[in-house]
């Protein structure tokens, strides 16, 4: 899942990005509405975290105008404004959640993950394929009932493959959804992550390389 954080205060932005990345999310950041708008037109996101007051205006106006165009990406507003009227204003003009500063990063993570799941409405909280089970809420993976220890990126890649079982997923698609803008599309980060993931999933092999296309999940013992 991929998130955009729009916050002009550098220390706050760095802390939020680090916290969300620790929860296996791919995270991009922007410092104002203009740069956020550019990122939103170029990339697909599961959630956007907007600080209310940015150098080029109140983000609520931007969100309101995008909602009128049919834009449906979930939005969490961050603000120091804690009055009931301010919170209602945020919800009435396109916000899906509202968090008042200062806040606990643990709460921010939970709220963002909840909004990301809303973006994938209809997706079950626990994904199952063959003998693999991915609990997206607890961020846990089991194979044949055995709990596996995956890195944040390995979890993201497996989750993305799990919602598209037996479909070929390209390397560029995996980078788009599981990495952020800092990732080099010409690097071998996808192949390295897949190799580690295959090792941790153990035999029989579940992730199959598809020549010229990328990777896909196949049931134990099956081949292309």
The answer to the question of residue 31 being in a domain is: yes
Query: Residue 158 belongs to a domain with what CATH number?
Result: 1.10.10.10
Q: Is there a contact between 215 and 169 (Cβ–Cβ < 8 Å)?
A: yes
Q: What are the tens digits of pLDDT across the range 114-149?
A: 888 776 555 677 888 889 998 877 788 999 999 999
Please give the Cα distance from 213 to 207 (Å, whole number): 13
On whether the pTM is more than 0.75, the answer is no
Of 86, 119, 152, which residue constitutes the final position of a domain?
A: 119
Q: So what's the pLDDT on residue 17?
A: 93
Q: Which domain holds residue 212?
A: 126-217
Number of structural domains (the chain) is 2
């Amino acid at each position: 899942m991929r998130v955009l954080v729009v916050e002009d205060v550098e220390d706050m932005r760095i802390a939020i990005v680090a916290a969300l990345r620790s929860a296996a999310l791919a995270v991009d950041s922007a410092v104002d509405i203009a740069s956020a708008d550019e990122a939103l037109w170029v990339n697909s996101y599961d959630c956007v975290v907007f600080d209310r007051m940015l150098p080029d205006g109140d983000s609520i106006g931007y969100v309101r105008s995008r909602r009128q165009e049919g834009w449906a990406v979930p939005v969490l507003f961050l603000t120091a404004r804690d009055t009931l009227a301010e919170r209602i204003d945020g919800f009435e003009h396109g916000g899906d959640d509202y968090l008042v500063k200062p806040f606990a990063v643990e709460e921010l993570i939970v709220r963002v993950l909840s909004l990301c799941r809303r973006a994938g409405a209809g997706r079950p909280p626990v994904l199952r394929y063959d003998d693999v089970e991915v609990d997206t809420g607890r961020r846990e993976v089991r194979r044949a009932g055995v709990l596996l220890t995956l890195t944040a990126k390995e979890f993201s890649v497996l989750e993305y493959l799990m919602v598209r079982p037996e479909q070929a997923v390209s390397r560029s698609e995996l980078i788009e959804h599981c990495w952020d803008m800092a990732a080099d599309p010409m690097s071998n980060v996808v192949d390295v992550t897949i190799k580690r993931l295959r090792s941790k999933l153990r035999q029989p092999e579940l992730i199959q390389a598809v020549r010229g296309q990328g990777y896909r999940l196949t049931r134990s013992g099956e081949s292309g």
